[in-house]
Amino acid sequence: MESPTGTRLEILELLLRQELSSQSLAERLNVSPAAIRQHLSTLEALGLVERRKVITQPSRPTYLYRASPQGMRVFPKRYDLLLTQMLEILTEQTGPEGTGALVEAAARRVADQAGGQLIRGTDAERWRRLVEWIETEFSWQAAVEEEPGEVRRITIHQCPFQDLSKTQPDVCGIFFGTLIRRACPNATVEHAPAPAEPACCAFVVAPTKPRA
């Protein structure tokens, strides 16, 4: 689903903080009430806002709008600074090996929280669910490209390790590599540089070749 932009994004930002009527939104954004109602209708159809009816005057109901749980995911929580500082302290205390072990354990726990959805079905089904799960649960963007020989390349955007990876480049490979191997246990996973900014990193996933 394409993320809202322009006035719709401004509406969603306001509704993230509090419930507002269409009239209040029109006044705050200096946009006509008719245009606001049209934007709200679109956002509601996309599942990004919810509304409830309140009675302020007899026979004149008013609708209050708020961001839905799906709408809240448009604005990812920024834990990257805190995460970077914590892992830097851990590295100072335990060395890179200790940090790598912690990141791998975290990835395994995250995969466990997904339950069986990452390990059921065909390889293609597991791959599709993995990408959908990453985008839905974490608000990270995962772009996938099909390459010859049943090879897939996944590029991660909005990665929480983007700043940390500048000093500890192995962190991304450990975390996402562990997740991908859980979904595709019969594949080889290679950590590769991102094709271009603002992407963080990429992974090349290929089927394991049978032994001769």
Please compute the mean of the pLDDT values over residues 51-60 and round it to a whole number: 78
CB 5 within 8 A of CB 39: no
- Residue 27: pLDDT band with limits 50, 70, 90: very high
Q: At residue 212, does pLDDT exceed 60?
A: no
pLDDT at 33 (0 to 100): 93
Domain ranges of the chain: 6-72, 80-207
Alpha-carbon distances, residue 146 vs 149, 151, 153, 197, 205 (angstroms): 9, 6, 7, 20, 10
How far is the C-alpha of 26 from the C-alpha of 15, rounded, in Å? Answer: 13
Average pLDDT of the chain? 80
How does pLDDT run across 3-22, given as a tens digit for each residue?
677 899 899 988 888 889 99
CATH of 80-207, one of 3.90.1150.10, 3.40.50.150, 3.30.1380.20, 3.40.50.300: 3.30.1380.20
Q: At residue 169, does pLDDT exceed 70?
A: yes
Q: Let me know if 37 is exposed, middle or buried by CB neighbors in 10 A (0-12, 13-18, 19+).
A: middle
Cα angle value 117/107/16 (rounded, 5°): 80
How does pLDDT run across 137-155, given as a tens digit for each residue?
766 777 778 888 888 888 8
Look at residues 61, 15, 11 and name the one whose alpha carbon lies nearest to residue 35: 11
pLDDT at 32 (0 to 100): 94
How does pLDDT run across 92-111, given as a tens digit for each residue?
888 888 888 888 898 888 88
Class of domain 6-72: mainly alpha
CB 174 within 8 A of CB 188: no
Q: At residue 118, does pLDDT exceed 80?
A: no
CB 141 within 8 A of CB 158: yes
How does pLDDT run across 186-205, given as a tens digit for each residue?
788 888 776 655 566 788 88
pLDDT at 197 (0 to 100): 55
Alpha-carbon distances, residue 97 vs 63, 94, 174, 179, 205 (angstroms): 55, 7, 11, 19, 24
Q: What is the pTM of this model?
A: 0.57
- Residue 69: pLDDT band with limits 50, 70, 90: confident
pLDDT at 51 (0 to 100): 92
Q: At residue 39, does pLDDT exceed 60?
A: yes
